[in-house]
Structure 1
Amino acid sequence: MTAPHVFWEHRVYTGEFHELSRVRSDLARDLDGFDPDLVDTLRLCLSELFANTLRYTDSGTAYGEVIRTLSMPDPATLRLSVSDSGGGGGVPRVPAERTRDEWDWSEGQRGLLLVENLSTNWGHFPLGPWGDLGTNVWAEFGLDPATVPAGLRPFVFTTD
């Protein structure tokens, strides 16, 4: 694996739903100068990943936290990821065992389906080879290198 072309400083959030507006605004600020439609797509996907993290893992408890990372592993790819505090006991996946009518009726569990359809690629990996230390869920989005803001440095410090 090669070093990222650009790497933004990690952002850490408490595992509380009221943080969602800050999570979304931080991402928009970090991606200032990028295509607004791309930023809106990433904000939507981040909202789903953040909510899933709080709903299905210990990140949604009083001691939980969520870490958001952002990088450009190459000039044509933007990678967004969310890491949780563990305790979910499951693996992120798009549920496949529903009929079409059940999907039409369902109100939930569409977040990863949305991420799958808006990203060019997505996946997950455990944060440690032992125990349930957490999971990192990532999604990649294609970029036109000509539309990337000029002057990005290899490491971008986030500002509040």
Structure 2
Amino acid sequence: MTPARLWTHRLYPGDLARLSQVRRDLRADLSGFDPDTADTLVLCGSELFANCVKYTASGRDGGVIRTLWSADDRSLTLGFTDDGLGGGVPVIPRARTSDEWDRAEGQRGLLMVEELSTAWGYSPVCPFGDLGTHTWATFTLAR
């Protein structure tokens, strides 16, 4: 059994312009992984980072996003922690008709993460107040 691997935590400014750096770092961390798996992880990681910027205080002046990526011999988990103050929690808008989904410009990202990952979820940084949310997605690794 392969021991668990935990990558160095990273701190990124909450700016969509930093997304290319997040992708480069994730690609570097995933060197040696199956290329299709790495592509899927970069795609989903990009979406989770962008959501932190778009929907929380991480996207405001001085906002940051923290990362936590870990793996064992069966799975890899990507996690992004935002600065909170988004007024809600990550959610897939399920109360849409097919026509509404066809016309929707956004809010498809978490649906994509749900479809491509083994599991995803979130947990508040603090049990009281909107002080940040850690959103994660787990992916089963090919053996």
TM-score, normalised on structure 2? 0.95
Higher relative contact order, chain-length normalized (CA < 8 Å, sep 6+): 1
How far the C-alpha of 1:144 sits from its partner, in A, is 2.8
Q: Secondary structure at the match of 1:69?
A: strand
Residue 115 of structure 2 aligns with an amino acid whose one-letter code is N
Match in the other structure for 1:105: 103
Match in the other structure for 1:30: 29
Aligned positions, number: 141
How far the C-alpha of 1:127 sits from its partner, in A, is 0.5
Matches within 5 A, 1:119-130: 119-130=117-128
Residue 85 of structure 1 aligns with an amino acid whose one-letter code is D
Match in the other structure for 1:155: none
Deviation digits for residues 86-125 of structure 1 (CA, Å, limit 9, x no counterpart): 1101010110111100001111000000000000100000
C-alpha separation in 2, matches of 1:5 and 1:42: 18
Deviation digits for residues 53-75 of structure 1 (CA, Å, limit 9, x no counterpart): 11100000111100111001x31
Residue 121 of structure 2 aligns with an amino acid whose one-letter code is G
Matches within 5 A, 1:35-46: 35-46=34-45
RMSD: 1.0
Match in the other structure for 1:76: 74
Q: Secondary structure at the match of 1:75?
A: coil
Residue 66 of structure 2 aligns with an amino acid whose one-letter code is I
Match in the other structure for 1:61: 60
C-alpha separation in 2, matches of 1:124 and 1:12: 18
Q: Point out 4+ residue stretches in structure 1 off by more than 6 angstroms.
A: none
Q: Secondary structure at the match of 2:51?
A: helix
C-alpha separation in 2, matches of 1:106 and 1:144: 33
In structure 1, list runs of 5 or more residues that go unmatched: 146-160
Residue 122 of structure 1 aligns with an amino acid whose one-letter code is W
How far the C-alpha of 1:6 sits from its partner, in A, is 1.1
Match in the other structure for 2:11: 12
Residue 78 of structure 1 aligns with an amino acid whose one-letter code is L
How far the C-alpha of 1:35 sits from its partner, in A, is 0.6
C-alpha separation in 2, matches of 1:112 and 1:60: 18
TM-score, normalised on structure 1? 0.85
How far the C-alpha of 1:133 sits from its partner, in A, is 1.3
Deviation digits for residues 18-58 of structure 1 (CA, Å, limit 9, x no counterpart): 00000000000011111111111011001111111111000
